[in-house]
A and B are shown apart, each in its own frame.
Chain A
Amino acid sequence: MSAAVDSIREVAATALSEGTVGVFIGYGRDGDTGRATPVFARTPEDAADLIFDATCLGNLAVYLARPEVRSLGRPGVLVKGCDLRSVNVLFRENVIDREDVYLVGVRCPGVGEPAADKCGPCKVRDPAGCDVVVGDPVETDSAGAETKYEAAAAIEALSLEDRWAYWQEQFGKCIRCYACRQACPLCYCKRCIVEKSQPQWVETSPHVRGNLAWHAARAFHLTGRCVGCGECERACPVDIPLGAINQKLAKLVEEWFGFESGFQPDEEAPFTTWSADDPEVGIL
């Protein structure tokens, strides 16, 4: 992917020197851990530190809703296809306007070693709708689509009792750090439902009951929105398989509404679209 790196550095440096952007959000290398880490280039010289390879796991779109980043000026951001899907949701929900962000797409064959689960089924290895796209052409894995809802299917195969026991065990681990929420580009509410205390809709204590309520609330709020970028699961410090929950709901949304989130910036999502012709199935 080194051809992509040179292009990214060039594009970012140019955007910064021409004033197209005030900050370019990309990946840099942490020399200690060897991991890719978000960097916020402000000058063309900063752009020389940008990288792109299979270690670039993070979804940088999460920074587009952070006021500390927006205060640095018009943002440019490097997006893989999965990241771009979440940006499309930010567009349709008016979190940021298309003209207020400079999108640099990067063609991506998959990240992670071993490759992340989301990469096999990915249909957006060549991200469309960006200002610039860099990187060598990549092919879509035609067999990959079958694994799209694999994590959810594994749990669906369990009996109801086993499923309940499984989630009680998993949510018993939750310490309510909210890394899942903070890492999610679509959890951008300035005041989350769990932070509302008059009344306290969701108990804040990390017991199983409170944790179940929290994760159910978050899953419901992401239904029809989550694009499966996997950041919630990656961020979880106690390794709860959060992706499976969102996958299950995404599967239901596709089955019932024929909708998958984030492929177009102007899509009409089932739960956030008002229409006078809404058949209102299910409302008495």
Chain B
Amino acid sequence: MGTSDSIDEMVETKLYRAKPGWLSAAIAALGGAGIHVLAPKREADRRDGSARIDLAPVTSAEQVDQDFVNVGLPLKSIYFPPTQSLLDYAAVEGGDVRIDEATESVEETVVLGCRPCDAAAVALLDSLFRWDYDDVYYRTRRERTTLVSWACTAPDGQCFCTSVGGSPHGERGSDVLAFLTDDGGALLEVHSVKGERFVERLRDAVEPAGGDAERPTPPDVPERFNTEPIRRWLENNFEDDSWKEVALRCLGCGACSYLCPTCHCFDIVDESTWNRGTRRRNWDSCAFALFTLHASGHNPRADQTARWRQRVMHKFRYFPDRFGDVACVGCGRCVRRCGAGQNLVRILQGIEQRA
């Protein structure tokens, strides 16, 4: 499953039983140690009555929501935030420039309650952010964050992790994979040194699981498509007429890219005031009209057809060619939130039918 090697030190899987109330114990222990805790929190209700749930700082277990498919923003917003200061600069006397790096401090963080798909995406992004440049901005946050994923119990109709090599019980990218039980306890699968350190903090709230401990049956996530025939079709059909058809409804916003756990394109800007400023890295999207605009005025992806094609090609052909992973974890956010009703899964199914 891919060529990315984890940024974390992996260990042989160990199982623990967390007692009812372990979540409170965990939050208290982490908070007491000055560690930042992020967990799914119900932020507000939308007009249609559905809940908006996002990873947010929590100080008690009562604040944590457990009844959700997935949170709004993916984990990349921790390691690769929507906007990030890279350095500050200022003109100084004599015509020189003073540069101030590492302008943001990064706290030790534990995420409680991310989903297996989002954790798998992080493992995938690791290969990208260490590819031709070891991205210190990404790596610092990554090293200081522990992921305690919650295995899925109720995926919805738009989840498709199993079509892209994942699973509602997938452990990839997780330091700990927790199987929550109805009594408020959990079975904890520890996969890394960071995971072991997390479990150590729980003290009496956990004990090693007995030899009979085993994972529950995963919920069913039907396979919707097969990536291999799709990849072969993509290799041979860059100019196919179907690209125009499927791109018609796309309005070229960045919602799918920004909500996607694996999308990672960015723009670097300097924001200056007279004689000083900040260099920032911001999210960017290949769906935007100006994404590939050259200084000459030429734009090689001048219409939404070419831009939509790029999205599919990058995720299901170029990224796998380079890194061995399809750049999609099947979280379903793009399908759920596209304002124009674009459905990537149906488009891929259409491609597979033609392959």
Question: Given the complex, which residues of A lie within 8 Å of B46, measured CB to CB?
Answer: 239
Chain B contacts of A67 at CB under 8 A? Answer: 303
**Shortest distance between the CB of A234 and any CB in chain B (Å):** 6
Q: Are A37 and B157 in contact (CB under 8 A)?
A: no
* Contact call B340/A33, Cβ cutoff below 8 A: no
B210 CB to closest chain A CB (Å) equals 42
**In the complex the two chains form, is B271's CB within 8 Å of A175's CB?**
no
Q: Are A237's CB and B259's CB within 8 A?
A: yes
Q: A178-B253, A239-B46 are in contact. Are A68 and B247 (CB under 8 A)?
A: yes
Interface: A53 (CB within 8 A): no
Cα-based distance from A27 to B304 in the complex (angstroms): 20
In the bound complex, residues from chain A placing their C-beta under 8 Å from that of B343 are: 30, 32-33, 37
- How many chain A residues touch the partner (CB < 8 A)? 45
Total chain B interface residues with beta-carbon distance under 8 A: 48
Which residues from chain A contact B244 at a C-beta distance below 8 Å? Answer: 68
- Closest B-chain residue to A42, C-beta based? B245
Task: Give, as a whole number of angstroms, the nearest-CB distance from B278 to chain A.
Answer: 9
- CB B222 to nearest CB in A, in angstroms, measures 11
CB–CB B339/A32 < 8 A: no
Q: Are A178 and B52 in contact (CB under 8 A)?
A: no
Contacts A62-B251, A182-B253, A237-B72 given; indicate if A36 touches B288 (C-beta within 8 A): no
Known: A40-B249, A182-B251, A204-B267. A177 touches B258 (CB 8 A): yes
- Given the complex of chains A and B, what is the CA–CA distance between A29 and B44 in angstroms? 29
Q: CB-defined interface of B303-341 with A at 8 Å, one 1/0 digit per residue? A: 111000000000000000000000000000001110111
* A30 contact set on B, CB distance < 8 A: 341, 343, 346
Contacts of A33 in B (CB 8 A): 157-158, 335-336, 341, 343
Q: Is A83 an interface residue (CB 8 A)?
A: no
Residues of chain B within 8 A (CB-CB) of A179 are 251, 253-255, 339
Across the two chains, which residue of chain A brings its CB closest to B308?
A68
Residues of A within 8 A of B (CB): 30-33, 35-40, 58, 62-63, 66-69, 112-114, 116-117, 175-179, 181-183, 195, 200, 203-207, 210, 231, 233-235, 237-239
15 cross-chain CB contacts under 8 A: A30-B346, A37-B343, A38-B249, A38-B340, A39-B249, A58-B341, A117-B47, A177-B258, A178-B254, A179-B339, A182-B252, A200-B271, A203-B271, A205-B269, A238-B72
